[in-house]
Structure 1
Amino acid sequence: MTRSRVECLDGLRALAAMWVLVGHCLLLTGWRVPILGEPDLGVDLFIMLSGFLMVFHYQLRQDNEPWQRPETWLKFWTRRYFRIAPLFYVMLFLALALGPYLYES
């Protein structure tokens, strides 16, 4: 049986996401904490792990979804859209609604 998850990488991606969040909070508040105060490194780590996991999952599905078929591309982009878009639009709404208040703070 082939495993479809790499649990330790989920934890590392969560830590990278928290690093980005804390790093941006530190930038906004002016506090200085070595390493954590550089959210660009957390972004790099998160993107690298995400890219690895995308290729890993593609290789698990390559027999059922060959990359050369247009249906595979459609399935890929549909999955990506519905994974990212809902949270993006919720956060966009919150940013637009609360942005002026947060900026004044």
Structure 2
Amino acid sequence: MQYALLIYGDEKRWQSRTDAEMAENHVRHQRFMQLLQQRDAMRGGAELEYASSAATTVRDTGGDVTVTDGPFAEAAEQLGGFYLVEAADLDDAISLAKALPEGIVEIRPIVPARG
């Protein structure tokens, strides 16, 4: 089954990291991706522009569509990236999420294609 591992973190803390801290974080993500590759579990993923001001929200409220700058909701943590992984079950997805180097990880099952 496929799961999205959505990585959230504190935008201000992320922006205040030193170059050395950023480099170490990238090394840790590379290790995580190697773990996924060893398990043939990597299906996709990307780092997102971490500044929440880069987000644009399109909202359809039943016929009236609005476009606003910024994220859908104000929150203490912002979505910074995601991995799409193959896991045997939720427990397996949780074990993968625990191996991520930082942040808060929300795990969401992917709905299989219908058809």
Q: Same fold (TM over 0.5)?
A: no
Query: Which of the two has greater helix per residue?
Result: 1
Task: Decide which structure has the larger Cα Rg and report it.
Answer: 1
TM category, shorter: under 0.3
Tell me: higher relative CO, structure 1 or 2? Use CA pairs within 8 A at least 6 residues apart: 2
TM-score by length of 1: 0.25
- Structure with bigger strand share is 2
How does the TM-score come out when normalised to structure 2?
A: 0.23
